[in-house]
Structure 1
Amino acid sequence: MSELLNDNTKNDQAIPFRFTRLYITLFSILAVLLTGSQILTQWRLRTVQDELWIIRYEALQRHQSQQIVKQALQLTDGNDPKHFRQNLAELRQIFQTFELYHTEGRAGRVKDHNVIIPNSKPVQRLYNGIAPEFMAFQRSISKLLSMQQPADASLPDYQASLQLLLDNEKPFLEEIDAIVRQHTSELRNQLARLEEIEFYIYLTSIAVLLGIGLLIFKPATRRLKQTIAQLVEAEQKASIANKQLLNLNKSLSETRQQLFEATRLQHQQEMDEQKLRTSYLMAGQEDERKRLSRELHDGLGQMLTALKLQIEGLEAGLKRASADSETAGLAAYSKNIANLKKLVTQTIQETRTISNNLMPTVLSDFGIVPAIKMLAENDRSDELDVTFESNLAAGDARLDKNIEIMLYRITQEAVSNAVRHASPSHIHIELIEREKYIHLIVTDNGRGFNPISQRKAVPRPAKNGRAPSQGLHNMQERANLLDGKLRIDSVPGKGTRIQISIPYQMQSVHYDAN
């Protein structure tokens, strides 16, 4: 066939025609073989399934015969008269099924599943051989089923029927087993023949496939090599052009990536510089607050305290003079001095409060937990309940100095915003260390607000000269300096929840209070 193809290479129409005709012929043979094999296999499998039903009914006769003997013994047992009617009904039902299965097995059919397979001669001979035992079963059971009451079991006729049943039980079991074995052996022989036929069909299919390979694909492969060579040559030229385009594209991608990286680095540098400037600014603010706090405490506070002591001394002298002279003028002076003393006391207290807000000494001396706890106690009043909880014990390792200051300032800002704008009756502060994060959560039950509209709104000065959203902006800036995240959850009329999460791993930190 390959020679014919080679001889007709000049005829562009003869080669496809011969190739197609041979291809269709060989594949038609293969299709016929495979289809015939499938039809034969399916037919034999259905036959095997039908014969399995026959074998199953034959095997069930063995079990049913044992049940019949058992039920007959229970029926003739005089010790169980209460279940006589029940045993009689069960024996009748089992024997009817037994007769049906035996009759259908002898005829080679199963009516329930529409199966009809004539028995082979060996199987039929075995069924003829078991006929006496089956007839003995019929006579015995028919006699036992005629019993009217439990006392009939002791009569000689019924005892003889029972003995006849027992005498034929074992021969019946042995012969029904022989029938099952014979039927199974015949089924195995049929399967073996089916496997042999399948094997020959398989060999023929392999031969056809080899013919397809030798007579069709081998000549076709030779013809295709020339076309493939031309395609390879064209592909090489296209590959060279493609490589050039890829190099150009790679250069463009590298240039674009470099521009992107330069832009990103510039933006990151600007962000870092902005963060550094903000950090320096806030550090300067904290230093200035510390200086003002120290001056208020050490300078003005001490002078006011000395003034108070002088007024107390003058008040004591006037009281003694008033007691000696009992003049009304001295009493009036004493009253004015008492008012002056009260005013000086309030001034000293206010100075201490301002000094503590600027830089609380408890923060620098004992840490963030006692500082926030004192902040909550100072802001607590009859109209406002401020609570605080933390899983950081006061004796635990101190946090970094900058983190403690930032957390304290954010807490101050959050509480101040809630008191100033939300009018809450309860504020709850939480400071939690979990999964290498420090979480500060401030929750109030005030009037709440819309966080989205608050961020979009243009800041306008409030009555106190401060924009409403300036506090949120300050908290966001402080959180950014610590690489933290600020989350605000608020619904008008349902309160506000502010959470700041800062990445931090607890460790021993040396803190300089100066």
Structure 2
Amino acid sequence: MSDVFSNNNKNHQVIPFRFTRLYVTMLVTLAVLLTIGQGVTQWRLRAVQNELFIIRYAALQRHQSQQIVKQALQIADPGEQTKLATNIAELRRVFDTFERYHLEGREGRVSDQNITIQLSDTIRQMYRDVSPEFEAIQSSARRMMRLQRFEEVSQPDVQASLQLMLTNEKPFLQEIDAIVREYTAQLRRELNQMQTIELYLYMFTIVVLLGIGLLIFRPAARKLKQTLAQLIAAEARMTSANKKLLSANKSLKETRQKLFEATKQQYQKEIDEQKIRTSYLIAGQEEERKRLSRELHDGLGQMLTAIKLQIEGLEAALARNRAQTPEANGPAPYAKNLGTLKNLITQTIQETRTISNNLMPTVLSDFGVIPALKMLAENDRSEAIDVTFETNLTPDMPRLNRDLEIMLYRVTQEAVSNAVRHAQPSHVHIGLFEKDSYLHLIVTDDGRGFKPTSKLQRQKETDDLHEARSQANGTRESNRRVSQGLHNMQERAKLLNAKFKISSVPGKGTKVQVSIPYHTQPIHHDTY
């Protein structure tokens, strides 16, 4: 057996081919032995089970014979003469079963269970010996079953049959008992034989297992012990190498993490710088709007007002001069031109005030974003377009942060302006709501809508899209203004870390939504 494992050192196989073949052979042998033992055991158990049924039916004949004698005595009893028919019916039922069991027992079969066994010569001889007693009980019972009236019981042949049954009852019981004992003895001998066979199979199985242990597992254990020693040594070497690799990997991870942090900081710094530049740019725009608004209102507005007053004074002077000249009949030729000039200057003053208010509405700086949005909705409302404003914020709420109010107003102004100028809506709705600790600005219209790009930040894609559309309908400049306006709205929202979302479907209107965390406590408000 040592040769089986000697090849292990030559070809470095853990389990050589001959070892595998021997191992499989012994396992197959063990499986065959166990299968044979199990088959024999099951076969003998079925035979024993059949014999137990035969013994049981043989033992039942003792009880049935006693029932037959009992019923015969009841038939002959004068006190039971009213139950003669019942007793005869019960005797017939018990006798039929008794006769069938006895006749089948002679042949070694039980029809109820479909069982047939081979009877020994001893059992057959014992059944032949009990035949006279059985036939005597059989003939007596049949005579008793033929009775029609109770008076026939006193007839000599009936009394002789009853006496014959009583005489043969005891010998029949003794001989049936002997048959049952012989059945039991034979069954015990068969069980002992089966037990001996099982013991031999068990001992042979133990020998095979010992052979497997000595011839296979013991040499295999020695070889596995050597292999495990080699594996442990290799594992120690591999552990040492892994430690070095882990150390190098750890250093690499730390370096990569530092590089990632530096890149992240640089990226965040660039984003912050971009935000600062954008914030400064927007702040500069707001300051420039404020300056232009003030100059329009205080400079150009006052100059136009002065011109209007001069024209009104000139008109009054000309009217007085005309009144002092009686020869002038009819309206003066310059009166119509002066009226037209005065109306034109009045419209120019109103337009200047509107431009000044749009650049920097005084209501926004004086009263806050809610009155400013209300005024924006009223100013943009016309006969063709209905602009409405709705909010759940109370008028006595604390003023919002200056930058937040400007952002909300400018986004609303841009959204409403785009809708009024380009979407051709019939209704524009402005909503400012506080919900779930967020302040939501929602501007919706029922205009013609459009198909927004996947990323509004990519301004070039938007401009290319509008340029392609402009070639078809000649609205290049208008579409570019819409695209730039959407970009400006998004940039304003991004500066305050607000969520900006725009959704639109061609033919179904547009929805612009800005959401920002809302603080219920009073916030410091700077003067515009």
The TM-score, its normalising length taken from structure 1, stands at: 0.56
RMSD: 4.8
Segment of structure 1 superposing worse, 299-308 or 396-405:
299-308
- For 1:507 and 1:334, the matched residues in 2 are separated by 62
Does structure 2 retain, via aligned residues, the 8 Å contact 1:455–1:469? Answer: no
- For 2:357 and 2:505, the matched residues in 1 are separated by 33
Say yes or no: does 1:481 pair with 2:495.
yes
Match of 2:376 in 1: 375
Match of 1:300 in 2: 300
**Distance verdict in 2 for CA 1:445–1:310, change over 3 Å:** same
Deviation at 1:404, TM superposition (A): 0.8
Give the 3-state SS of the residue equivalent to 2:516 in structure 1. strand
**Distance verdict in 2 for CA 1:37–1:418, change over 3 Å:** farther
| Residue identity in the other structure for 1:343 | L
- For 2:482 and 2:36, the matched residues in 1 are separated by 86
- Structure 2 counterparts to residues 316-395 of structure 1, below 5 A: 328=329, 335-395=336-396
Deviation at 1:340, TM superposition (A): 3.9
Structure label with greater radius of gyration: 2
For each residue in 1:357-390, what CA deviation from the matched residue of structure 2 results, as whole angstroms up to 9, or x when unmatched? 0111111122112211111111000011111212
**Distance verdict in 2 for CA 1:259–1:36, change over 3 Å:** farther
| Residue identity in the other structure for 1:490 | S
- For 1:491 and 1:285, the matched residues in 2 are separated by 32
| Residue identity in the other structure for 2:418 | N
Segment of structure 1 superposing worse, 288-297 or 266-275:
288-297
Match of 1:284 in 2: 284
Does structure 2 retain, via aligned residues, the 8 Å contact 1:367–1:394? Answer: no
- For 2:377 and 2:311, the matched residues in 1 are separated by 34
| Residue identity in the other structure for 2:494 | N
- For 1:253 and 1:330, the matched residues in 2 are separated by 96
- Structure 2 counterparts to residues 361-440 of structure 1, below 5 A: 361-440=362-441
Does structure 1 retain, via aligned residues, the 8 Å contact 2:443–2:511? Answer: yes
Deviation at 1:219, TM superposition (A): 7.4
Match of 1:198 in 2: none
Match of 1:225 in 2: 225
Which ranges in structure 2 are unaligned for 5 or more consecutive residues?
Answer: 10-14, 50-96, 102-111, 115-201, 468-474
- For 1:512 and 1:248, the matched residues in 2 are separated by 56
Give the 3-state SS of the residue equivalent to 1:452 in structure 2. coil
- For 1:240 and 1:488, the matched residues in 2 are separated by 59
For each residue in 1:272-311, what CA deviation from the matched residue of structure 2 results, as whole angstroms up to 9, or x when unmatched? 1111101001101111212222233333334444554565
Give the 3-state SS of the residue equivalent to 1:394 in structure 2. coil
Does structure 1 retain, via aligned residues, the 8 Å contact 2:447–2:509? Answer: yes
| Residue identity in the other structure for 1:496 | T
| Residue identity in the other structure for 2:525 | Y
**Distance verdict in 2 for CA 1:31–1:316, change over 3 Å:** farther
- For 1:370 and 1:346, the matched residues in 2 are separated by 25
For each residue in 1:235-281, what CA deviation from the matched residue of structure 2 results, as whole angstroms up to 9, or x when unmatched? 22223233333433444444344333333322221121111101001
Which ranges in structure 1 are unaligned for 5 or more consecutive residues?
Answer: 48-102, 108-115, 119-203
Match of 1:511 in 2: 525
| Residue identity in the other structure for 2:381 | R
**Distance verdict in 2 for CA 1:36–1:333, change over 3 Å:** farther
| Residue identity in the other structure for 1:277 | R
Does structure 1 retain, via aligned residues, the 8 Å contact 2:438–2:515? Answer: yes
Does structure 1 retain, via aligned residues, the 8 Å contact 2:5–2:19? Answer: no
- For 2:211 and 2:317, the matched residues in 1 are separated by 134
- For 1:474 and 1:15, the matched residues in 2 are separated by 79
Does structure 1 retain, via aligned residues, the 8 Å contact 2:293–2:356? Answer: yes
Percent of pairs identical after alignment?
60
Select the residue among 515, 523, 526 that pairs with 1:501. Answer: 515
**Distance verdict in 2 for CA 1:382–1:246, change over 3 Å:** same
For each residue in 1:53-74, what CA deviation from the matched residue of structure 2 results, as whole angstroms up to 9, or x when unmatched? xxxxxxxxxxxxxxxxxxxxxx
**Distance verdict in 2 for CA 1:27–1:425, change over 3 Å:** same
Match of 2:244 in 1: 244
| Residue identity in the other structure for 2:265 | L
Does structure 2 retain, via aligned residues, the 8 Å contact 1:431–1:441? Answer: yes
| Residue identity in the other structure for 1:397 | P
Deviation at 1:408, TM superposition (A): 0.7
